[in-house]
Chain A
Amino acid sequence: MTDADQATAPLKPTKLNTPVAVEMTGVNKWYGDFHVLRDIDLKVMGGERIVICGPSGSGKSTMIRCINRLEEHQSGRIVVDGVELTNDLKKIDEIRREVGMVFQHFNLFPHLTVLQNCTLALIWVRKMPKKAAEEVALHYLQRVKIPEQAAKYPGQLSGGQQQRVAIARALCMNPKIMLFDEPTSALDPEMVKEVLDTMVGLAEDGMTMLVVTHEMGFAREVANRIVFMDDGQIIEANAPEEFFAHPQHERTKLFLSQILR
């Protein structure tokens, strides 16, 4: 009963400054000789939910990691909410403050408690007093339905709980855009649903989301648009119904026939 009440705790993603959340134009990236991203053009509007799928090594993770500069692109433009990503560290910091990220392997800080994981950035980046930061953190831990684990260390939680903490940690910064890099790929099958449910809730609140995932059920239910990538390029992008019902490109058809059995 209380769980249901907590689930409806309000979350209002902050409005973006510009209508376009992320705009990538002609983005190229190489790892040494290897051309990972080839002429990527992608425009994500505020409030849009994009699911990115494709075979492993197709560059989908690399693409979303370019958006908060965990990876550097070599040519082309990436503009995040009106701020262009360059080598300017101030711009990078500004963008990282506005963009939350959830990783495949959670990347929680094992030497800090769940609560400290969530308050760390509020205290050191947002310069919030400790008490206020803890209130915010507890609010979001409630939202992902694990306030009772606040005093534990990440290593004492299950994978699904850890991933929900990671989501709460990102939400604490009140991001305008959320990036998800295969958030359920490292989870036991029984844990996938609790994480996906949290993400669905987030989508319902109007968060702008870019999600790399193989969960096609989630894509069908939540996405505005599905982007299919292979060999570092965007092969096909379409609304989910069309994408699943009438894939155009041969590679897309092959991919879908492999994963939808």
Chain B
Amino acid sequence: MTMAEGDLAVTKLHFVRERAIEAKPPPPAMTGALGWVRENLLSTPLNIALTVFIVLLLLWLIPALVNFLAVDAVWSGADRDACRKLVQHREIGACWPFVWERLPYFVYGSYPIPQRWRVDVFFAMLAVGVVWLLWLEAPRRDLGAGYFFVVLPVASFVLLHGFPAIGLPVVDTVLWGGVLVTIVVASVGIVCSLPLGILLALGRRSAMPTVNLLSTMFIEFVRGVPLITVLFMASVMPPLFVPEQYEPDKLLRALIGIALFASAYMAEVVRAGLQAIPKGQYEGAMAVGLKYWQMMRLIVLPQALTITIPNIVNTYIGLFKDTTLVFIVGIFDLLRTIEVARIDPKWATPVTSTTGYAVAAMFYLVFCYGMSRYARAMEARLATGDKR
């Protein structure tokens, strides 16, 4: 329509459209790579300033990192001399031979060397279980769930702790360490905290006063104390009450402490999700005759958990990193093994600590970022079926 016609349409009382306006493509500046850059990087003065600032930051950071981790890094050597500036007469980056040598210690702790294959089998079994459960197109995921929640815990206990009757000598948990302990503590926390958290959240919203009161008290008490306190209590209190021979294992006590601690936080996350579900959903479910548990399992929880995926994963990531606190009760998780190894005089150089911490950083980054990405993919997938 020309300008004149448009004016006429407004001024003249009578107007009848004779031809429909066809949809036209948007102007080129709105599409393609150029459009994306304009829209996302350069849309406002503040945005331009931020873009410039971040580009400068990356230009400063990335070369420094690459230099330390790769260009100046030492890749082989037998002891500290390989990583000393005074001996090598050059800039020294990361001291990788130190990591190569201590890697088994970082992974297994003091687990007896002839028995370490058991830990490898455990890692493999865990990996199979995780992939089976998390890969949504995997065959027979119901079997996978059974494997993960029933077979795997039993098999892990038999493998890692030992079962003399079938020829696996007992390995005391005092000897466990490194990645093994980190993975065990984190998986137990992650697997136990969600179901416990859901039960606590439902309990806190329950109309039954006793259930409500107990859940609320548990959640508020646990959230009111730091994790370190929980771990200390788990490690120091039982010996005061129980004779030494009946005392539960130190690692087991820490596991229970962490699982309960995480479930209190998870309960609040799930409760937020429950509160976001409109009352109409409950009424719709009740009106078609569903009972309380059916309503929760089929209608309310699927929706509540979907909207809380970002928060659940946030809690998981926090939990994964909090596992490092078990060092305080004398359990050797990955970070603790690195702490011990980095002060070994054999490898005493100015870069040893930094190298060790770089390894820890990469380990935690890979796991936490992996969880985060998986959650994003899940959200995207669930969102496609759930357009409101």
Chain A residues within CB distance 8 Å of chain B: 68-70, 93, 96-97, 99-101, 103, 105-111, 120-121, 124-125, 153, 155-156, 169-170, 173
Contacts and interface: CB of A to CB of B under 8 A. Distances in A.
B290 A124 contact: yes
Contacts of A107: 280-281, 283-284, 287
B294 interface: yes
Interface string B284-296: 1111111100100
B386 A120 contact: no
A23 B303 CA distance: 37
B295 to A, nearest CB: 10
Contacts of A173: 288-289
A111 B302 contact: yes
Contact of B284 (A69, A93, A103, A155): A103
A103 B287 CA distance: 10
B280 A155 contact: no
A133 to B, nearest CB: 12
Select the residue from B281, B284, B286, B303 with max chain A CB neighbours within 10 A. B284
B306 A111 contact: yes
25 contacts: A68-B286, A70-B287, A96-B287, A96-B288, A99-B287, A100-B288, A103-B287, A105-B280, A106-B280, A107-B280, A107-B281, A107-B287, A109-B281, A109-B285, A109-B299, A110-B303, A111-B302, A121-B288, A121-B289, A124-B294, A125-B289, A125-B290, A153-B385, A153-B387, A155-B388
Nearest to A94: B289
B358 interface: no
A121 B386 CA distance: 20
Given A93-B291, A101-B287, A111-B385, 14 more contacts: A68-B286, A99-B287, A100-B287, A100-B288, A103-B283, A107-B281, A109-B281, A111-B306, A111-B386, A120-B290, A121-B288, A153-B385, A155-B387, A173-B288
For the complex of A and B, the 6 pairs showing the least CB-CB separation, nearest first, are: A107-B284, A121-B288, A107-B280, A155-B387, A101-B287, A125-B289
A255 B214 CA distance: 51
B280 A111 contact: no
B80 to A, nearest CB: 59
Which of B289, B291, B298, B388 has most A Cβ within 10 Å?
A: B289
Interface of B: 280-281, 283-291, 294, 298-299, 302-303, 306, 385-388
A103 B280 contact: yes
Given A110-B388, A153-B386, A155-B388, A96 B284 contact: no
Contacts of A155: 386-388
Contacts of B290: 120-121, 124-125
A63 to B, nearest CB: 15
- Residues of B contacting A: mostly: helix
A225 B289 CA distance: 28
Contacts of B285: 109
A108 B280 CA distance: 9
A6 to B, nearest CB: 23
Contact of A109 (B284, B291, B306, B387): B284
Contacts of B306: 111
Contacts of A121: 288-290
Contacts of A103: 280, 283-284, 287
Nearest to A92: B286
Given A110-B303, A111-B386, A155-B387, A169 B288 contact: yes
Contacts of A69: 286
Contacts of B284: 103, 107-109
Contacts of A156: 387
Nearest to B287: A101
A68 to B, nearest CB: 6
A33 B387 CA distance: 40
B285 to A, nearest CB: 8
A31 B87 CA distance: 84
A70 B388 contact: no
A69 B289 CA distance: 11
A96 B303 contact: no
Nearest to B291: A93
Nearest to A179: B287
B271 to A, nearest CB: 19
Contacts of A100: 287-288
A50 B252 CA distance: 65
A103 B282 CA distance: 12
A172 B281 CA distance: 18
Contacts of B388: 110, 155
Given A110-B388, A155-B388, A120 B283 contact: no
Given A111-B306, A124-B298, A68 B287 contact: yes
A107 B278 CA distance: 9
B208 to A, nearest CB: 13
B379 to A, nearest CB: 13
A35 B201 CA distance: 33
Contacts of B288: 96, 100, 120-121, 125, 169-170, 173
B387 A111 contact: no
Contacts of B303: 109-111
A198 to B, nearest CB: 18
Contacts of B289: 93, 96-97, 121, 125, 173
A8 B119 CA distance: 68
A121 B287 CA distance: 10
Contacts of A109: 281, 284-285, 299, 303
B310 to A, nearest CB: 17
A97 B302 CA distance: 23
B228 to A, nearest CB: 40
Nearest to B382: A111
A24 B84 CA distance: 92
A120 B101 CA distance: 59
